[in-house]
Structure 1
Amino acid sequence: MTPDIADASGVRIVLEGRARLRWARAEASRWRLVEIWPSERERRSLQRSLARGQKVLAVQGAAAVDVDLLDEEIADEHAVAPYLTQRDRGVATVRLTALDWAPESISREAQQFIEQQRRLHQAATGGRAAVLTPALGRRRNLRLVHIDSLDVDRLSSACVQQLAELAFPHPFHHRRRRYEHVPRREGHPGGSCDGRIDHREHR
């Protein structure tokens, strides 16, 4: 099980990329894609959270991720249609764009900040960049953390907690943590941070 949206000590966490794919077992060794997060209900819920000032952290390894799916892996064509970019010879390509659930102005500001900081980091060190945006939005309650080439689907719950504490440190120390999980296919084990959150935050 991989966290898709986590509610930890009042911080709502969105894992971007492949983590947004929801799978269900069709047979003993066969999985089918049943939904792509967020559903309309979940989108409205997240927008309400932002509007009332709840802290939201999104985690990405890239601004957009393309995923190839076999036609027989798709259980609901309607769910895939908004994300479909190409279909050829039984293979469908869907594009998962980070922050497409947030207001466009916030998404644009976040990605522009990250790209600017990545260019500065790569010019200085040539290494992999980790960037945490300032608090964004009218309520200043949304942040996006980007780590180059991060496989978000493999993050462990402990790593997710560390990222949330990095972004919003104060609420974390005195409350219990609760996570919401979504099904994923076998062969995608959870992972650890592997030291990746030790990168200095870029402001």
Structure 2
Amino acid sequence: MTPTVAVAHDDFLIVVEGPARLTWCRTGSARWRPTGLWPTPAQQADVCDRIRRGSPLLVVLDEPTAIPLLAEEIADAPPELAALAEFAGDVGELRIPFLGWLPPDLAERGRRFLRCGRPSRPDVLVPPLVVDAPDPDVPHVRFARWSRRVPNPTEALVAAATHLFS
């Protein structure tokens, strides 16, 4: 149930921001429980180190979303995760802090790209993956978003990242 959030390939890292950051574990044949958020503190330290070293980072953005949950799913979740959930009776939602794992200036750049990066042309003329222009101060960090709502495995982005950062 937990899709791939981050893929390291050669020296670059691809991260999918959005609902995929919520990690789950199976608690029964058809039951799941949220267990945490990507990145863990160690993973976040690795990402920050990569950014400092100038290693390429491609962040594929998804709209900030609230993930629907049942009260029984969050009952045994870690307290820091349960604090992100709001419930009305037995049904609620969990809001993942959007780009909360990036340094504030990069997180704001990603938010700005998501807000302003909407093409004004017909869908058929928009490429499947829309990528921001390199920032002169941090050209090794790029943001992208899928222009169409179709399942895209993170691993499929390796070729795109290789092209962007070569």
Specify the TM-score bucket, using the shorter chain as the normaliser: 0.7 to 0.9
**Cα distance change, pair 90–163 in 1 and its aligned pair in 2 (3 A):** farther
**Cα distance change, pair 162–114 in 1 and its aligned pair in 2 (3 A):** same
**Cα distance change, pair 149–71 in 1 and its aligned pair in 2 (3 A):** farther
Q: Spell out, residue by residue over 1:113-150, the C-alpha distance to the aligned partner (whole angstroms, 9 max, x if none).
A: 343231xx22x336695421123485432111112454
CA RMSD of aligned residues (A): 2.6
Which gives a bigger RCO, structure 1 or 2 (Cα 8 Å, sep 6+)? 1
Q: Spell out, residue by residue over 1:145-169, the C-alpha distance to the aligned partner (whole angstroms, 9 max, x if none).
A: 1124545xx423552223323432x
The Cα of 1:105 is off from its aligned counterpart by 1.6
Q: How many residues align?
A: 162
User: Structure 1 regions of 5+ residues with no counterpart?
Assistant: 171-203
Corresponding residue number in structure 2 for 1:104: 104
Instruction: Please identify runs of 4+ aligned residues in structure 1 that moved more than 6 A.
Output: none
TM-score by length of 1: 0.68
The Cα of 1:82 is off from its aligned counterpart by 5.2
Alpha-carbon distance in 1 for matches of 2:141, 2:34: 29
Are the equivalent residues in 1 in contact too, given 2:14–2:161 (CA < 8 A)? yes
Q: Spell out, residue by residue over 1:35-91, the C-alpha distance to the aligned partner (whole angstroms, 9 max, x if none).
A: 1112222222211111111111111232x121111121123241414533x221122
User: Structure 2 regions of 5+ residues with no counterpart?
Assistant: none
| Percent of aligned positions that are identical | 22
Corresponding residue number in structure 2 for 1:178: none
The Cα of 1:102 is off from its aligned counterpart by 0.9
Partner amino acid, structure 1, of 2:161:
A
TM-score by length of 2: 0.81
Corresponding residue number in structure 2 for 1:140: 139
